[in-house]
Structure 1
């Protein structure tokens, strides 16, 4: 904890994994940053949003983050943010690791049951080696609070099987690519320049998912330029902190994925989170302290 001897810093920004699900009140994070770093300019963001700022070096465009889940953020470079997917494995995360893994287990189950369409012996064998007999799977997954990560652990097996020519695995990855292209395209709404990038272990350069995504995006949105990621989420947090230091009035919040506090007050300009990925200009908010429950 700070003893008051630490030199104050001009600004601080953090990107947090699970911000909307694990952090009950981002205001408390602002308080900690302000107290421990002795700064009056703080930003608290989700790691997917700082991934955007890192991947495009703060430029306008959209970035798709793919791991266990999938979410895309679009930014017009001034005041408008858009978000697509990131709804979790029960409602969304289409094309992400959890979705690919779930499709793999469904294909394995179909082969076990004797189905021919959408079935895979290779995936059944891989899943049994990883999780044990299929009869134990319902109990394993339905009672496991970490089932999303458990499901996503099958995604590499699908990639391996596809490389070996398993038709069902190839189809799963192609469909995943279509889903991811849809998510990225959704984030590239009106007002967002046609510049995009991807980040995450499943969409590294030349990965099967990247190939499928690129193919589908080029068909759906040929005007979009898909570029390699130029930086990490940490680079994005540094970019956000520098902007907050140099031009705090230019940083628009996007609750709950980005909240900004300057001199004890929240940013003047904010994109309302309840409008999600709709085409809206950032609201002009008065610079007054928000009640604590506003950000919960």
Structure 2
């Protein structure tokens, strides 16, 4: 068995993925489990994190792992919660791993999932939205990521909220709902049929939103993108405004005309979506000579970060680890 094995984890709120790799980038094991982020789900989530690790280590001695990087949103919260921090380290030790885990932002992992370059920029849009400048494989300047109440402009949550607001405007103006508005009514109320008094429909729509967790509005994002593809003007306007917000956030961390790599991450930007296309067009205007790359497997990128200090050829290792797989 090769020595100096490395482990990478992508720890999210809904899923946790692990990749075990040899120094040459050969994958030796993978693991997958449910949401393992203890900063969002508490100590109970550590069961999922441990399950993903154990699956990845199924065929090796955990003592052979000499480095581990964990990409996780809000990881700095562990420093402020002694009980949670102790539970994390106890769960880590119980897996048999003896190496000290290095926790990094999921934003940095997303950047590394798109490029081996030490310097560049990353923009992420999923449920939330954030952008960051990276220097020497470390976050140097971060913008937005302020959460659904105060920020995350251009995110899935933002798209969902703006779609509901567009539907409410149609109701308030007593005009026929746009296709997007009708889709919102159907999704949240079960029907696009209006009550005799439009104000009653508006009130029902508001109640449907406030009864659910605010972040649940992000589930409307695919609806918005679908109506964009159907050329609904309301949806096209919304997606274009979302892309403009994301480009503005990028501009906070990136110099005009900069040519370094720019990685786009998060489900709304790594997939072939209208938001990704609109953002790419906006990026081309402000940074015409930049290289725009989609983020790949963040768990493999975390393993690459773990191997980076001792790798003689980081670019080749990155290519080996980040080659497309079914994982």
After TM superposition, the score normalised by the length of structure 2 is: 0.64
Question: Bigger shift: 154-163 or 181-190?
Answer: 181-190
Partner SS state of residue 48, structure 1: helix
C-alpha contact 1:185 1:217 (8 A) present in aligned 2: no
Which of 1 and 2 has higher RCO (CA within 8 Å, sep 6+)? 1
Counterpart for residue 154 of structure 2: 95
Counterpart for residue 239 of structure 1: 304
Counterpart for residue 202 of structure 1: 268
CA shift for structure 1 position 236: 1.9
CA shift for structure 1 position 40: 4.0
Provide closer, same or farther for how the CA distance between residues 35 and 219 of structure 1 changes in structure 2, counting only shifts above 3 A.
same
Provide closer, same or farther for how the CA distance between residues 16 and 237 of structure 1 changes in structure 2, counting only shifts above 3 A.
same
Moved over 4 A (4+): 20-24
Partner SS state of residue 150, structure 2: coil
How do 1:180-219 and structure 2 match up within 5 A? 180-189=246-255, 194-204=260-270, 206-219=272-285
CA RMSD of aligned residues (A): 3.0
Counterpart for residue 67 of structure 1: 126
Contiguous gaps of at least 5 residues in structure 2: 1-49, 55-60, 190-200, 312-327
C-alpha contact 1:105 1:127 (8 A) present in aligned 2: yes
Partner SS state of residue 63, structure 1: strand
C-alpha contact 2:126 2:268 (8 A) present in aligned 1: yes
| Whole-Å separation in 1 of the counterparts to 2:109 and 2:291 | 20
Q: How many pairs does the alignment contain? A: 238
CA shift for structure 1 position 200: 2.1
After TM superposition, the score normalised by the length of structure 1 is: 0.70
Which of 195, 211, 214 matches 1:147?
A: 214
CA shift for structure 1 position 27: 4.5
CA shift for structure 1 position 78: 5.6
Which of 24, 48, 61 matches 2:107?
A: 48
CA shift for structure 1 position 82: 1.9
C-alpha contact 2:121 2:132 (8 A) present in aligned 1: yes
CA shift for structure 1 position 167: 0.9
Say whether residues 1:131 and 2:198 are aligned partners: no
Deviations 1:196-215 (A, max 9, x none): 02122212454211121111
Provide closer, same or farther for how the CA distance between residues 142 and 19 of structure 1 changes in structure 2, counting only shifts above 3 A.
farther
| Whole-Å separation in 2 of the counterparts to 1:21 and 1:122 | 42
| Whole-Å separation in 2 of the counterparts to 1:153 and 1:78 | 33
Partner SS state of residue 263, structure 2: strand
